[in-house]
Structure 1
Amino acid sequence: MDQIASWVATVATIFAACLTASNLGSRITGYGFIVFTVGSIAWFTLGILTGQPALIWTNIVMTALNLFGVWRWLGRQAKVEDGAQAAAEESRALPGETLFPASSLNSAKLVSADGANLGTCVDAMLGCGSGRLQYLVVAEGGLAGVGETFRRLEWGDAQVHDGAVQTRFDEGRFSTLPELTKDNWPGR
């Protein structure tokens, strides 16, 4: 029995770590915490079966923390994202400008006018007093953050369209935009 608990704990912990580290959205992260909970219960069971009090107490705490993670990502954060999406959808049917959730800029795809994928938005810089978007920081290339290039795209050269940020620039023009270092962005 302890071998089964050991393998369930190991596989669940590795799989859950992959889900949460991938940063694929609140729901995937929340599912990762569900799997982490299964893993911590299996580790707790292994601690009981093998008489390891440190493993038992560690995984009592880990189970509580994992359940908090489930609530945080599948409860609270998923509802916040659903509320933002509902407001964006409702605004399409109302007179005036269509809305989009600012939080979506943190992971929105940047596409050219012809639909070519240029990169992924990683952040946006806004004016403190005006609230106006000044520029986007877009990551292009690389794999899992390694080898990527950050570029500055002025907000005037972008617009939100069908859940993505769109620019009139093609790939050639986009590649000439200023490169940014990951830890030092311009103040203006």
Structure 2
Amino acid sequence: MWEWALGWIAPAATMIAAMMTAANAGARVTGWGFVVFAIGSVAWSLTATYSHQRNLLLTNLFLTVVNLIGVWRWLGRQARHEDGSIKAVRKSSHADAVPSLFSASVAVGANVIDASGEKLGVIVDLMLRRDQRGLAYVVIAQYGMGGVEETLRAVDPANIEFTADSAHSKISRRELDALPALQADDWPSALPSARARKPGALERN
């Protein structure tokens, strides 16, 4: 009976945990993914013990330790960092002396929504200026049917309004589509200053 139950729990927990961690849905989801991973590795270890598979047992004892470290990192340290950034964003929204803040870790992966509520794409990176004068540009990924095809575009930060958990576009889908696509491994050094607020060609160095 136990062997039969473990035979189902072990692979099911491993598959569920893999989906949770791959989703990149925040520190807590990732952390709970490692919890499920740990349950799976313990189940695999018990299965190996019952079936006398020494190599499987040793492998999953090691993976149990790794997964517990993942739980500590993502549900402990990383979750506290995420809470700290969220609180800073909330505090800044009520402060008159400083501009409102947004969390870069939350911004990357955030959906970009237009004025009508339509999803235009997902933020994949924020390019910062080394002179500490803010963002140079925001890289947005647009996905095709089924999320298979990806098109990257660089957008002026002035056209993106960040909130605590999403980003609102001040340009339409048509204007976004008119921006030149970036090569996956060749991004521009800057946006053209004369066309910073309009769709246009990107400069490359």
Task: Say whether the fold is shared (TM-score over 0.5).
Answer: yes
Q: Deviations over 1:86-131 (max 9, x none)?
A: 0111112221321111222211221223433211101011111224
Partner of 2:16: 15
Larger CA deviation: 71-80 vs 122-131: 122-131
Partner of 1:182: 184
Partner of 1:46: 47
Q: Deviations over 1:132-179 (max 9, x none)?
A: 200011011236752121111011322224632223211111111121
Larger CA deviation: 137-146 vs 169-178: 137-146
Distance 1:143 1:83 in 2: 37
Structure 2 residue runs of 5 or longer lacking an equivalent are: 191-205
Distance change in 2, residues 1:42/1:125 (3 Å): same
Normalised to the residue count of structure 1, the TM-score between the two structures is 0.92
Distance change in 2, residues 1:183/1:92 (3 Å): same
Distance change in 2, residues 1:158/1:36 (3 Å): same
Query: Identity over the aligned pairs, expressed in percent?
Result: 38
Distance 2:95 2:189 in 1: 36
Distance 1:14 1:181 in 2: 33
Distance 2:126 2:146 in 1: 20
Normalised to the residue count of structure 2, the TM-score between the two structures is 0.85
Q: Deviations over 1:44-94 (max 9, x none)?
A: 001111111111111111000000111111111111010000011111222
Q: How does 1:109-148 map to 2 (within 5 A)?
A: 109-142=111-144, 146-148=148-150
Distance 1:4 1:109 in 2: 40
Q: How does 1:22-101 map to 2 (within 5 A)?
A: 22-96=23-97, 97-101=99-103
Partner of 1:102: 104
Contact 2:89–2:164 (Cα < 8 Å) also in 1 = no
Larger CA deviation: 73-82 vs 97-106: 97-106
Contact 2:107–2:165 (Cα < 8 Å) also in 1 = no
Q: Secondary structure at the match of 1:175?
A: helix
Superposed CA RMSD in Å reads 1.7
Distance 1:156 1:56 in 2: 55
Distance 1:69 1:16 in 2: 12
Amino acid at match of 1:86: K
Q: Secondary structure at the match of 2:178?
A: coil
Distance change in 2, residues 1:152/1:79 (3 Å): same
Distance 2:47 2:166 in 1: 47
| Length, aligned pairs only | 188
